Structure 1
Amino acid sequence: MKPSSLLKAAVFIIGMSAFIQVYSVQAVLPVLMADLRATEVQAGLAVGAAVLGVALMSPFMGMLSDAFGRKIFITASLLYLSLPTALLAFSADIHQMIALRFLQGLAVPGITVVLIAYIGEEFETGDVARLMAVYVSGTVFGGFMGRFLLGYLSEWAGWRGAFGVMAAVSLACALFVWQQLPKSQHFTAKPDFQTAFATLKSHVRNRYVVSASLLGMCVLCSLVGCFTYINLHLAGPPYRLNSSELADIFTVYLIGMVITPLSARLMARFGSVKTIVLAVCLSMAGVAITLSAPLAAVVVGLVLMSSGVFVTQAATINYIAAHVKQGRSLASGLYYMAYYSGGTIGALLCGLAYTGGQWSGVVYTLLAVQAAALLVAVKGMKAV
C-alpha cells in the first residue's frame, strides 16, 4: 500500500501518543513535591517509574505481536494508556502516583516496537524511510508536548485536572488511529517463542549489541537526570519559574526534530562511532554550561545537551542495524530495555545527587555518566 496523508497523520499521532505521557510530569515536579509531600528522590521516581515500565516490556512486545498481530496491539496499547493517565488525577500520595506511572510505561512498547514492525512489513523501502521519519518526528513532538501541555494545564486547572485532560487526549488519539491505520496485509503469525528465546540468548553474548545497549543506558540516564532535576533547580532561587514557565523550557526538546535528520549526514561522513564521540562531547559541554547563572546560558546548555543525546541515539540505532543481521527486532528490544533502564537509573541517581549537592551535584554525576558513554564508544564499539 502507499501511505496516504491520513496514514501519515496516524503514524505521527502514534509516535506522539507513545511519548506524550512518559516524561510529562517533569514540568510539574515542584508542585507535586509540595502537594504530595514528596522528596526529591521520590519525585524523580515518579518520572523513572514510567521509564522502567517501558524498559521491562520492550524485549517481549515484539515477540507477542509476532504471534498475535500488529494493529490490535497498537490500538489496544493506546486505549490502555488513557486509563492509568486518568487515575493519576486521583493519586492520594506519591506512592500511588509512582505505581500508576509504572503502569503507563508498560503501554509504550506496544505502541513503539509494534509500529516499527508494522511499517517494515506493509510498505516498500522508500516509503518505510519516509514513514519512519514521520514517526520519529511524532515521538520528539510528543516528548515536548507532554511536558508543555501538562505544565500549562496545571496552571489553569491544577495538576489533577491536567491529568484528566491528558487522558482524554490519549483516548482521542487511540480512536483516530483505530479508524485511520489500515489492517495488516502482509502479517504472518510467528508464535515460535523457542526460536525467539534462542536468538535472545545469542544477543546477550554479542559485543555489538551489549556495547550499543550500554551506550543507550548512559544516554537516557543523562537525559532523564538532566531534564528532571533542572526543573527543581529553575523552580528555586534565583529563577523561581512556575509550571508554565518550566514548560516553556522544554521547547528546547523540539531541536530533536531538526537534529535527528541532520545526524544522517554526520554518520555518512564520519561513521557511527566517531559521530557518537562527537555528540557525547557536545552533550558534556552543554551540561557544563548549565552551571552558569544566567537563564539564557542554562537554556543554551540544555539545547547542546539534548542535541548531543539525539544524535547519539540515532547513531547507536544505525550501529545496531549495521552489525546485527539476524533477530534485529529482538536486538532493538534489548537496546530499548537498556536505554529505558538508564532513564530509571538517571532519575534515582541524580535524585540522590540533587539531595546531596543541589544542581552542581547533578551536573558532576551527569558528566561522569557521559564519560562512561565515551569509554563504551571508544573501547567497546567497532567503527563502521
Structure 2
Amino acid sequence: MNADSETGPQPTTRIVFLNLAIFAAGFATFVNMWCTQAILPVLAASFHIAQARTSLTVTAPLIATAAMAPLIGAISDRFGRKKFICGAGLVLVLPTLLAAAAQNFDLFVLCRFIQGLTLPFIFTITIAYIGDETSGPATARLAGTYMSGTIFGGFSGRMITGLVTSEYGWRPAFVVIALLTLVMTVSIALLLPRGRNFRPLYGVRQALSSFPLHLSNPRLLTTYMVGFGVLFSLVAVFTYINFRLAAAPYALGPAALSGIFVVYLGGVVVSPIAARLGNKFGRRVIMSCAAALIMIGLVLTLARPLALIELGLLLISSAIFMQQTLATGFVSTVAQTAKSTAVGLYVMVYYIGGSFGGFVPGSFWHEYGWPGCVAIVGAVQVVMLAVILRFWKQPKKAAAF
C-alpha cells in the first residue's frame, strides 16, 4: 500500500500502519531466531546426538547474523529499505521449511545458519528505516514498537515450538513458524509506508567507507559497547539460570524451564514506556534506572524461594529490554550518515556479545555456581553504565534527542 499517494491513508492511519508493520518486522525476525531453545532435548533425541551439541541450533543463526549485518547495511544504504525487508521475509520461509524436512542434524544446522543470513535483512534495515523516516521523540517511540515486536516474537517462537512439538512433533512446529513468517511478511508489504526520506549512496564501496566514520564517533562506538553488554547479560542469565533450576531443590523439567521465558512479556510493556521516559528524562537517567533494576533482579535470583527467582528474572529481562530499546534508537539518532551500516555494526557487536554471554560465564558457573554468573553479569552492567554516563552526554549545540 502506498501511504504517500494523494489517495492514500491520512496521517493518523499512516502512523497506525507504520507501527503495525514495524511490530511485524520485529516479530518475524525473532520468532525464527530463538525458536529452538525450548525443544533442544527433543532435537537431541530425534537426531540421536548429545544434548550439548544441540546448542549449535542457537549459535548458528547468531554467527550468521553477526557476520552479515554490516554488509547488509551497506547494500541497503545503496538500494533502499522496504524491498529488502519484504524480500528477506519471503526468502526466510524457505530454509525454515527445509529445516522441518531435514533428515540429519548437520543439514538442520545448515538451515538454521541460512536463516541467520536472512534475518539481518529484516531487522537491520528496519532500524535504519526508523532512523530515515522519524526524528526526535518519534524515533524513540517507534524503536519501542519495534522492540515490543522482537520481544513478543522471541517469546512466541519458544512457546509455539514447545506447544506444537508436545502435541505433533518438532517438524510441524517449524512449518507453523514458516507460516507465521509468511503472514508477517505479507503484512509488512501491505502496511509499511514507502520511504519518503531515503537518500541512496552511490555504491556499496561508499557505504563501506562509512565504517571509519562510525568507528571514530565516540557516542556511536560506545553504543556498540552497550549493545554487546545488553545481549551478553540476557544470554548469560537465561542460559545458566536453567542449570540452577534444573538442579535440586527445584528439579524443573524442560517444559517448566521453557515457561520461565514468560517473563519476556514484561519487555512488551516496558519497551514503549522506556522510549517515552527516555524522551522526557533523558537516556542516561533511564539507563541508570535499568541498570539498578538489573542489579536488584540479580540479587533476587540468589534467593532460595522460586517465586523470588522468577521476580528477579522479570526485573532483569524487563530492564534489559529497556536498555535495548534506548540503545537501538540511539544508533540511528547519532549516526551522521549511512545509517544502515551504522546499525549493521551495532547488530554485529550485539550478537558477538550474545555469543560471549553463552560461553564466558561457563567457567564462573563451574567454579562458583550461579553466584559466579551473577557476579560477571553485574560487572558487565557496571561497565556499561560507566560508559553511558561518560559518553551519552547531550552535545551543547545539538538538538534534543
- What TM-score, normalized to structure 1? 0.85
Q: Which runs of 5+ in 2 are unaligned?
A: 5-10, 395-401
Tell me, in whole angstroms, the C-alpha distance in 1 between the residues paired with 2:23 and 2:144.
9
Deviation (angstroms), 1:239: 3.3
Of 261-270 and 105-114, the range deviating more from structure 2: 261-270
1:88 and 2:92 are equivalent in the alignment: no
Tell me, in whole angstroms, the C-alpha distance in 1 between the residues paired with 2:82 and 2:385.
39
Secondary structure of the residue that 1:37 maps to in structure 2?
A: coil
Listed as ranges, the matches of 1:41-60 within 5 Å are 42-60=53-71
1:311 and 2:322 are equivalent in the alignment: yes
- The match for 2:377 among 358, 366, 375 is 366
- The match for 1:215 among 194, 214, 226 is 226
Note the aligned Cα RMSD (angstroms). Answer: 3.2
Q: Which residue of 1 aligns with 2:189?
A: 178
Of 123-132 and 90-99, the range deviating more from structure 2: 123-132
Deviation (angstroms), 1:305: 0.8
Q: Which runs of 5+ in 1 are unaligned?
A: none
1:154 and 2:165 are equivalent in the alignment: yes
Percent identity of equivalent pairs = 37
Of 64-73 and 143-152, the range deviating more from structure 2: 64-73
Secondary structure of the residue that 1:190 maps to in structure 2?
A: coil
Q: Which residue of 2 aligns with 1:381?
A: 391
- The match for 2:359 among 332, 339, 348 is 348
Listed as ranges, the matches of 1:314-353 within 5 Å are 314-320=325-331, 323-351=334-362, 353=364
Deviation (angstroms), 1:142: 0.9
Amino acid at match of 1:383: K
- The match for 1:301 among 312, 318, 321 is 312
Of 189-198 and 331-340, the range deviating more from structure 2: 189-198
Deviation (angstroms), 1:220: 0.4
- The match for 1:105 among 116, 120, 125 is 116
Deviation (angstroms), 1:267: 3.2
- Deviation string 1:290-325 (CA, Å, 9 cap, x unpaired) is 232322112111111112212222333455456443
Tell me, in whole angstroms, the C-alpha distance in 1 between the residues paired with 2:276 and 2:189.
36
Deviation (angstroms), 1:184: 5.1
- What TM-score, normalized to structure 2? 0.82
Deviation (angstroms), 1:133: 4.3
Tell me, in whole angstroms, the C-alpha distance in 2 between the residues paired with 1:122 and 1:54.
24
Tell me, in whole angstroms, the C-alpha distance in 2 between the residues paired with 1:205 and 1:124.
23
Of 206-215 and 300-309, the range deviating more from structure 2: 206-215
Deviation (angstroms), 1:233: 3.6
Deviation (angstroms), 1:102: 2.5
- The match for 1:37 among 5, 30, 49 is 49
Tell me, in whole angstroms, the C-alpha distance in 2 between the residues paired with 1:141 and 1:291.
27
Q: Which residue of 1 aligns with 2:398?
A: none
Deviation (angstroms), 1:353: 4.7
Of 257-266 and 176-185, the range deviating more from structure 2: 176-185
Of 287-296 and 237-246, the range deviating more from structure 2: 237-246
Amino acid at match of 2:176: V
- Deviation string 1:175-227 (CA, Å, 9 cap, x unpaired) is 34334445556655433233322321122222222211112101101101222
Tell me, in whole angstroms, the C-alpha distance in 2 between the residues paired with 1:43 and 1:306.
24
Tell me, in whole angstroms, the C-alpha distance in 1 between the residues paired with 2:329 and 2:126.
18
Of 364-373 and 289-298, the range deviating more from structure 2: 364-373
Amino acid at match of 2:87: A
Tell me, in whole angstroms, the C-alpha distance in 1 between the residues paired with 2:63 and 2:284.
27
Are the equivalent residues in 2 in contact too, given 1:45–1:347 (CA < 8 A)?
no
Deviation (angstroms), 1:86: 2.4
